[in-house]
Amino acid sequence: MTQVVESIFRMYDIRGVVDDVLTEETVELVGKALGSALLATGQDKIVLARDGRLSGPRFRDRMIAGLISTGVNVVDIGQVPTPMAYFAAATLEGVNSCVVITGSHNPSNYNGIKMVVDGITLYGDYIQNLLKRIQDNDFSEGSGSVIEQDIFQAYQSYIVNDIRLAKTLKIVVDGGNGVAGPFGVAVFRAMGCEVIELFCDIDGTFPNHHSDPAKPQNLADLVAAVKEEGADLGIAFDGDGDRCGIVDNSGNSLYADRQLMLYAQDVLSREPGGEIIYDIKCTSLLPKIIEQAGGKATIWKTGHSFMKAKMRETGAVLGGEVSGHIFWKERWFGFDDGIYTGARMCEIVAKSEQTAADLFATLPNGINTPELDMPFAEGEHYQFFNKFKELTQFTEGKVFDLDGLRVDFADGWGLIRPSNTSPIVTLRFEGETQAALDRIKALFREKILAVDSNLKLPF
């Protein structure tokens, strides 16, 4: 049996510390398993991309070696955001699969692999089946080819032809030194925006701040720049460009679940009765807005793979997560894309007679926390959560265990769930009043510490 570290085969992708658990040899074996799985579906061609991490070029080389050894033909589109690989798989003739070498928003010593086979984003059992192929040495053999192709002009043209700005906007783009920075800047300028760049050079050491716009502390530089420049809007990307953060002209960030309120109202104006999927971390105010706008609101599991699968199943026109993944079916291809999401927000703000701050202020707002993280050693977060779920009862509220544990009370809710991308347990709380929020947080604090009194809580 071939030895690889099983823990890197996660729920949505393969991810781990470079040269520790994710080695060049492992990447090549994944290429062999992925190529074999692709051939089993009747496909023989795949798009390959990578983000800006320092290990990207050598991992690309080993991924290509693995894929072509099975007889699969590779279209290498180079160092580009993950959504451009999805775009290539959706638009290039004769290919609807892709693989991306990316560590997403993880620290610089991580890398990973995201995969789409025959239009399906791999997750769960699909990924475990790749692990089994590797352990069983169950690989096809052949001789594939490699070509390089530039997809950016087609991608940019599609967005520029789709988006209509009613007026010129001045925006600040914070690339976070991730791969999306220069591409996003080029797209927004082609749309007609005046763009101020912040950390838009690609640097796999991420020297300025962590490339995760869902965390308020990572938006501090963007907030300051928007205020200083008198910009209409600020947009921040994560490491591989499938998410974006939004800051208004007053420097206030708009959580993605409240962004989704605006996107839903806009989409439903053209798609009446459309279904919109949102993840379990979202504010309880969101489904009310969706329904008021004439849509059908459906709560679902967190995770880009789960969300895309649910959208395919339901035919939903839009989906979104608190983390900033927004999935566009209306006018797009159903996948999450930070650049395209930023462009849609620009379109909405430009056609409003209000400033972004005044427009965002029209959206209802609960009293809530951002996502809060409890770090654990690798794998131990699942053990803690399982123990918590087994030992804890919430008689005061209604328990919803689709993904983690969400407890809904008459005046708010709390959520605790193990992350599928990092060794952390995430929490989020919301109350109709500050007193309600404080009570719910105190209840969760008491129950968490009853399971492990040594934990340092982030709230």
Q: How is the chain split into domains, by residue range?
A: 6-150, 153-361, 368-451
Question: If you ran DSSP here, which 8-state letter would residue 8 be given?
Answer: G
Burial of 27 (0-12, 13-18, 19+ CB in 10 A): buried
Say if 153-361 and 368-451 have the same CATH topology.
no
pLDDT in tens, 257-272: 999 999 999 999 999 9
Determine the pLDDT at residue 426: 96
The DSSP code sequence of 76-108 is EEEE--HHHHHHHHHHSTT---EEEE--TTS-T
Nearest to 19 by CA among 49, 53, 51, 64: 53
Q: What is the CATH code for 6-150?
A: 3.40.120.10
Residue tagged 């190529």 (tokens): 35
pLDDT in tens, 126-164: 999 999 999 999 999 999 999 999 999 999 999 999 999
The answer to whether the CB of 2 falls within 8 A of the CB of 135 is yes
Quote the CA–CA distance of 427 and 418 in Å, as a whole number: 9
Best CATH choice for the domain 368-451 from the list 3.30.310.50, 3.60.21.10, 2.30.130.10, 3.90.226.10? 3.30.310.50
The answer to whether the CB of 183 falls within 8 A of the CB of 152 is yes
Quote the CA–CA distance of 126 and 377 in Å, as a whole number: 25
Fold category of 153-361 in CATH: Alpha-D-Glucose-1,6-Bisphosphate; Chain A, domain 3 (3.40.120)
pLDDT in tens, 298-345: 999 998 889 999 999 999 999 999 999 999 999 999 999 999 999 999
CA torsion sign for 200, 205, 209, 211 is positive
pLDDT in tens, 351-406: 999 999 999 999 999 899 989 999 999 889 999 999 999 999 999 899 999 999 99
pLDDT in tens, 219-265: 999 999 999 999 999 999 999 999 999 999 999 999 999 999 999 99
104 is catalytic: yes
pTM (predicted TM-score): 0.95
Say which of 55, 97, 104, 422 is annotated catalytic. 104
Nearest to 432 by CA among 451, 410, 454: 410
Determine the pLDDT at residue 379: 80
State yes or no: pLDDT of 1 exceeds 80: no
pLDDT in tens, 37-84: 999 999 999 999 999 999 999 999 999 999 999 999 999 999 999 999
pLDDT in tens, 174-214: 999 999 999 999 999 999 999 999 999 999 999 999 999 99
Q: Which two tokens stand for residue 48?
A: 């390959």
Determine the pLDDT at residue 86: 98
Determine the pLDDT at residue 3: 83
